[in-house]
Amino acid sequence: MALTPVSQPGQGIDRPLSVSEVSEMIGVPTGTLRQWRNNDTGPRSWALGGRVKYDRADVLAWMDAQRAATARGGDLKPAA
């Protein structure tokens, strides 16, 4: 009996990202991601078969939150 994948690439559902993929995506070492996970900081993560995974949407949302929380300079007022 063949297994049918839940989703095919291009069907709008992103596959989970590995620690190394997120490391490359946001430019921090994998050890930093592990430390953030242990400290409950950083992007939301979860385990699948004993391996840490990330949803792309969670990583992007975390990056947006970091950008908003640490923004400095420029015109930070909303346009009228």
Instruction: For residue 47, give both structure tokens.
Output: 């385990």
Contact 23, 37 (CB under 8 A): no
In a domain, 61, yes or no: yes
In a domain, 35, yes or no: yes
Instruction: For residue 15, give both structure tokens.
Output: 């596959």
Q: Which residue segment(s) compose the domain that 45 sits in?
A: 17-68
In a domain, 1, yes or no: no
Number of domains within the chain? 1
In a domain, 36, yes or no: yes
Kind and range of the H or E run holding 52: strand 51-54
Tell me the per-residue pLDDT of 24-62, one tens digit each, with 9 for 90 and over: 999 999 999 999 999 999 999 999 999 999 999 999 999
DSSP bridge partners of 47: 52
> What's this model's pTM, rounded to 2 decimal places?
0.73
**Count of alpha carbons within 13 Å of 44, Cβ hemisphere only?**
9
In a domain, 47, yes or no: yes
In a domain, 12, yes or no: no
**Region 7-12: what's the mean pLDDT?**
54
